[in-house]
């Protein structure tokens, strides 16, 4: 299962009978996901460009899942009714949902959010599964090799494109005063602007408190989301093109 993306370095974990469900009942889901994920490519420039909102890679993957394969955003609304009177109503919005003949697949992409979003996603999956709404929940996030390699990627990008001063950064984004002070301190400590900027930039934008593989793995090992069948996919460093 998912042998093609595993061969490209993607981390894949299936929990709570998810592999049996996917292999036996939802082989079409596996094929569609793998096709979409195999097309993931990230230009290093996308990592360093300023601006809010979702990253370009996330947007491309979302479009592929929605437009090519029909995995659309959906808001599940669950109501508790007693003797015809509504007592409680809870909604769970999931970014990508697809109904297959044998069940419903729910998927979230957490490229670079605050790591408590993992708790939200996993608890949503748990509740929806307990209510018989979904068969399996999946999360795609930065893999361990990508997370650990980000500083080297940004440093290599800086050297390739001669980003060797604060002025050179303006082509990509405008650091705040606070960010500039951190970059300057890191530059003095590390001996070069390229290394100082990459260290400060990654710590600030892709730090330990953001969504990445170790944070997700820590949660599922503690049982968060259990017993919902879960599929976890980590994006590797090798998808980045400098």
Count the domains in the chain.
1
pLDDT given for residue 80 in this prediction: 78
Nearest Cα to 242, choosing from 209, 198, 203?
198
24 secondary structure, DSSP code: I
| Chain segment 8-27, per-residue pLDDT in tens | 999 999 999 999 999 999 99
Give the C-alpha separation, 215 to 135, whole Å.
24
Handedness of CA 161, 167, 173, 175 (dihedral sign): positive
pLDDT given for residue 119 in this prediction: 97
Give the C-alpha separation, 196 to 192, whole Å.
6
Q: Which residues contact 222 (CB under 8 A, 6 or more apart)?
A: none
Provide the CATH number for the domain around residue 20.
Answer: 3.40.91.20
Give the C-alpha separation, 179 to 146, whole Å.
23
Tens of each residue's pLDDT in the chain, 242 residues: 899 999 999 999 999 999 999 999 999 999 999 999 999 999 999 999 865 567 889 999 999 999 999 999 999 988 778 877 777 777 789 999 999 999 999 999 999 999 999 999 999 999 999 999 999 999 999 999 999 999 999 999 999 999 999 899 988 888 889 999 999 999 999 999 999 999 999 999 999 999 999 999 999 999 999 999 999 999 999 999 99
Helix, strand, coil abundance in the chain, percent, nearest 5? 50, 25, 25
Q: Which residues contact 107 (CB under 8 A, 6 or more apart)?
A: 33, 65, 71, 94, 95, 96, 97, 137, 138, 139, 140
Range of the domain at 223: 3-241
């Amino acid at each position: 299962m998912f042998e093609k993306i595993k061969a490209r370095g993607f981390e894949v974990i299936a929990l709570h009978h998810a592999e049996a469900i996917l292999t036996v009942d939802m082989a079409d889901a596996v094929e569609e996901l793998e096709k979409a994920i195999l097309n993931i490519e990230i230009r290093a420039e996308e990592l360093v460009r300023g601006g809010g909102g979702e990253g370009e890679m996330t947007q491309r993957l979302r479009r592929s899942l929605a437009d090519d394969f029909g995995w659309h955003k959906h808001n599940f609304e669950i109501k508790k009714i007693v003797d015809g009177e509504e007592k409680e109503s809870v909604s769970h919005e999931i970014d990508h949902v697809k109904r297959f003949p044998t069940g419903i697949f729910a998927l979230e992409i957490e490229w670079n959010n605050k790591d408590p979003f993992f708790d939200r996603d996993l608890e949503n999956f748990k509740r929806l599964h307990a209510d018989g709404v979904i068969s399996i929940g999946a999360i795609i996030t930065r893999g361990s090799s990508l997370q650990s390699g980000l500083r080297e990627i940004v440093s290599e990008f800086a050297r390739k494109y001669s980003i060797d001063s604060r002025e050179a950064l303006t082509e990509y984004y405008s650091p705040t005063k606070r960010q500039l002070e951190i970059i300057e301190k890191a530059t003095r400590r590390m001996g070069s602007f390229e290394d100082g900027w990459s260290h400060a930039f990654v710590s600030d934008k892709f730090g330990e408190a953001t969504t990445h593989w170790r944070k997700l793995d820590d949660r599922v090992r503690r049982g968060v989301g259990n017993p919902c069948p879960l599929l976890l996919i980590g994006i590797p460093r090798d998808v980045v093109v400098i």
